[in-house]
């Protein structure tokens, strides 16, 4: 369905929406208040679009009524979490109604016997762990935006993050969902079960569906015992190749699975050092690995990081290892990684943010190709990311002397080269930030026609009027 087939919000629809959520939970006709809902964290304003109305429901029944109304009146709907997304997923590109989940922010139940928690979608992800700390439990999802993003947005994007080497991504912990489907029906999938093959695995289908298959209104998460201790090592290498060449060997070479293996190249580190006014001695390192360990015994953690340090010392090009074995030094090194995305965003308005993923052992090839691209086009390429997961966040930043026209002419050529290379490594377009509408024109580089047809068939059968976050992931 194209945008001109959607109807505009009229007085009747507004009246009905007011009846459903109450006038205090509705924003309409107020540009200043609507504007924050027109964008996410994608810096380029060309990916923004104003909603006609924002509603802030408090229950799944209210959401169901809104969805039924939108279906009847052919009005597009965009579910929205915290708006920290990096692919334009929460942007209402055809206008219509934004359903903000911000009022649905409660912990519904902690089930300590089963080690499970049931939450509403609008709770800030980090608050779940703050709540769980006193019970010595934790939820192991850990996007770097943990202090702002909502758990519903994490499910919709299948968020990854800084603990995935050891703990995996969001999908490993979501075992039950209540979903308002595109026809307005409220359906429960999964439950408090650690195994369940009673029909298709609908919970996993919903993961990374980016708000296109339904709106999550209740989420059941599996919990783990909270590890008592953590330590980190910051490893400096003389070249990017030497840094990333070690990544996939760490686990096989030591038999130890760290919590995370994060990578930052020199360009990225210089930017974040300036941004944070940091002064750790870098010894001219070109590539850096930040490796974390956790567990219940400080001695065991020390044994683990010592074994990894010994292993890395035998690898080519290691310059220095700093150990952070207390909270303040750990926070200091992680601050570098956590603040990188923001530090890089302010660098230039002509920049593209990529989220490519390759098989973990191919990360060195992707990194070497970036160096080639950077030299060929004289680009600044701050690169960082979850190297242990094969997932790199790559910023392609235009040189200062490139004007808008040159940038717009060359960027597609550079992306074309990068995507083809990534695909040939067995890689994909996005590891965790999603496709949204920002990346959808490139999805057919990575998915075959038959693969895309299956996705479209699922979408069309669940949402025949194409009202649920239309124009995201692919066009119908």
Ligand X SMILES: Cc1cc2nc3c(=O)[nH]c(=O)nc-3n(C[C@H](O)[C@H](O)[C@H](O)COP(=O)(O)OP(=O)(O)OC[C@H]3O[C@@H](n4cnc5c(N)ncnc54)[C@H](O)[C@@H]3O)c2cc1C
Q: Under the criterion CB under 6 A, does residue 160 sit at the interface with ligand X?
A: yes
Nearer to ligand X, 37 or 402 (CB): 37
Nearer to ligand X, 260 or 422 (CB): 260
Nearer to ligand X, 179 or 244 (CB): 179
Question: In the range 129-158, which residues lie near ligand X by CB under 6 A?
Answer: 143-145, 149-150, 152-154, 156-157
Nearer to ligand X, 34 or 319 (CB): 34
Shortest gap between Cβ of 290 and ligand X (angstroms)? Answer: 13
Number of neighbours of residue 467 by Cβ within 10 angstroms: 24
Q: Which of 49, 56, 73, 80 binds ligand X (CB under 6 A)?
A: 80
Q: Under the criterion CB under 6 A, does residue 427 sit at the interface with ligand X?
A: no
Nearer to ligand X, 65 or 84 (CB): 84
In angstroms, how far apart are the furthest CA atoms of the chain? Answer: 72
Question: In the range 297-316, which residues lie near ligand X by CB under 6 A?
Answer: none
Q: Under the criterion CB under 6 A, does residue 356 sit at the interface with ligand X?
A: no
Nearer to ligand X, 90 or 312 (CB): 90
What x/- string results for residues 323 through 342 when contact with ligand X is judged by CB under 6 A? Answer: ------------------xx
First vs last C-alpha separation in the chain: 7
Q: Under the criterion CB under 6 A, does residue 388 sit at the interface with ligand X?
A: no
Q: Which of 71, 84, 265, 364 binds ligand X (CB under 6 A)?
A: 84
Which range, of 23-31, 85-93, 196-204, 395-403, touches ligand X by CB under 6 A? 85-93
Q: Under the criterion CB under 6 A, does residue 49 sit at the interface with ligand X?
A: no
Q: Under the criterion CB under 6 A, does residue 40 sit at the interface with ligand X?
A: yes
Which range, of 79-87, 222-230, 269-277, 411-419, touches ligand X by CB under 6 A? 79-87
Nearer to ligand X, 215 or 236 (CB): 215
Total binding residues toward ligand X, as defined by CB under 6 A: 38
Cβ atoms 108, 67 nearer than 8 A: no
Q: What is the 3-state secondary structure (H, E, C) of the chain?
A: CCHHHCCCCCHHHHHHHHHHHCHHHEEECCHHHHHHHHCCCCCCHHHCCCCCEEECCCCHHHHHHHHHHHHHHCCCEEEECCCCCCCCCCCCCCCCEEEECCCCCCEEEEECCCCEEEECCCCEHHHHHHHHHHHCEECCCCCCCCCCCEHHHHHHHCCCCCCHHHHCCHHHCEEEEEEECCCCCEEEEECCCCCCCCCCCHHHHHCCCCCCCCEEEEEEEECEECCCEEEEEEEEECCHHHHHHHHHHHHHHHCCCCCEEEEEEHHHHHHHHHHHCCCCCCCCCCEEEEEEEEECCHHHHHHHHHHHHHHHHCCCCEEEEEEECCHHHHHHHHHHHHHHHHHHHCCCCCEEEEEEECCHHHHHHHHHHHHHHHHHHCCECCEEEEHHHCEEEEEEECCCCCCHHHHHHHHHHHHHHHHHHHHHCCCECECCCCCCCCCHHHHHHHCCHHHHHHHHHHHHHHCCCCCECCCCCCCC
Shortest gap between Cβ of 180 and ligand X (angstroms)? Answer: 8
Q: Which of 51, 76, 79, 258 binds ligand X (CB under 6 A)?
A: 79
Which range, of 49-57, 208-216, 277-285, 421-429, touches ligand X by CB under 6 A? 208-216
Cβ atoms 51, 42 nearer than 8 A: no
Nearer to ligand X, 216 or 293 (CB): 216
Shortest gap between Cβ of 11 and ligand X (angstroms)? Answer: 27
Q: Under the criterion CB under 6 A, does residue 96 sit at the interface with ligand X?
A: no
Question: In the range 249-288, which residues lie near ligand X by CB under 6 A?
Answer: none
Number of neighbours of residue 155 by Cβ within 10 angstroms: 26
Q: Under the criterion CB under 6 A, does residue 121 sit at the interface with ligand X?
A: yes
Q: Which of 86, 235, 250, 392 binds ligand X (CB under 6 A)?
A: 86
Nearer to ligand X, 319 or 435 (CB): 435
Q: Under the criterion CB under 6 A, does residue 51 sit at the interface with ligand X?
A: no
Q: Under the criterion CB under 6 A, does residue 161 sit at the interface with ligand X?
A: yes
Integer Cα distance of 157 and 148 in angstroms: 15
Q: Under the criterion CB under 6 A, does residue 351 sit at the interface with ligand X?
A: no
Q: Which stretches of the chain bind ligand X, using CB under 6 A?
A: 40-41, 78-86, 89-90, 101, 121, 143-145, 149-150, 152-154, 156-157, 159-161, 210-211, 215-216, 341-342, 432-433, 469, 472
């Amino acid at each position: 369905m194209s945008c001109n087939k959607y109807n505009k919000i009229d007085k009747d629809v507004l009246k009905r929406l007011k009846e459903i959520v109450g006038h205090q939970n509705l924003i309409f006709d107020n540009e200043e208040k609507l504007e924050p809902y027109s964008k996410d964290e994608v810096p380029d304003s060309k990916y923004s679009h104003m909603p006609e109305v924002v509603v802030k429901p408090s229950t799944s029944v209210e959401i169901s009524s809104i969805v039924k109304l939108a279906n009847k009146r052919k009005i597009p709907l965009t579910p929205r979490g915290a708006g920290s997304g990096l692919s334009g997923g929460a942007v209402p590109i055809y206008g219509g109604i934004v359903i903000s989940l911000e009022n649905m922010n409660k912990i519904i139940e902690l089930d300590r016997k089963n080690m499970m928690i049931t939450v509403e979608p609008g709770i800030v992800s980090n608050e779940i762990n703050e709540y769980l700390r006193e019970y010595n439990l934790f939820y192991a999802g850990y996007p770097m935006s943990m202090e702002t993003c909502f758990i519903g947005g994490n499910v919709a994007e299948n968020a990854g993050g800084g603990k995935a080497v050891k703990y995996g991504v969001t999908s490993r912990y979501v075992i039950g969902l209540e979903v308002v489907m595109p026809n307005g029906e409220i359906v429960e999938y999964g439950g408090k079960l650690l195994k369940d093959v009673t029909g298709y695995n609908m919970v996993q289908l919903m993961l990374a569906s980016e708000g296109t298959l339904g709106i999550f209104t209740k989420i059941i998460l599996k919990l783990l015992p909270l590890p008592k201790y953590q330590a980190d090592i910051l490893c400096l290498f003389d070249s990017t190749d030497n840094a990333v060449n070690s990544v996939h060997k760490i686990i096989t070479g030591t038999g130890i699975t760290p919590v995370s293996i994060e990578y930052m190249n020199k360009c990225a580190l210089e930017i974040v050092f300036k941004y944070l006014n940091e002064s750790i001695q870098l010894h001219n390192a070109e590539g850096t690995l930040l490796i974390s360990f956790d567990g219940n015994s400080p001695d065991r953690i020390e044994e683990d990081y010592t074994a990894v340090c010994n292993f890395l010392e035998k690898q080519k090009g290691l310059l220095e290892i700093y150990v952070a074995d207390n909270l303040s030094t750990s926070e200091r090194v992680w601050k570098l990684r956590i603040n990188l995305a923001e530090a890089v965003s302010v660098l230039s308005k002509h920049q593209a943010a990529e989220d490519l993923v390759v098989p973990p052992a191919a990360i060195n090839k992707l990194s070497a190709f970036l160096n080639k691209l950077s030299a060929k086009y004289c680009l600044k390429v701050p690169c960082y990311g979850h190297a242990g997961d094969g997932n790199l966040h790559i910023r392609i930043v235009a040189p200062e002397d490139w004007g808008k026209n040159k940038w717009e002419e060359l960027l597609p050529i550079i992306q074309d080269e990068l995507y083809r290379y990534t695909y040939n490594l067995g890689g994909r377009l996005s590891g965790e930030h999603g496709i949204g509408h920002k990346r959808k024109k490139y999805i057919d580089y990575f998915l075959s026609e038959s693969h895309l047809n299956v996705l479209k068939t699922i979408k069309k059968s669940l949402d025949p009027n194409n009202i649920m976050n239309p124009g995201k992931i692919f066009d119908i």
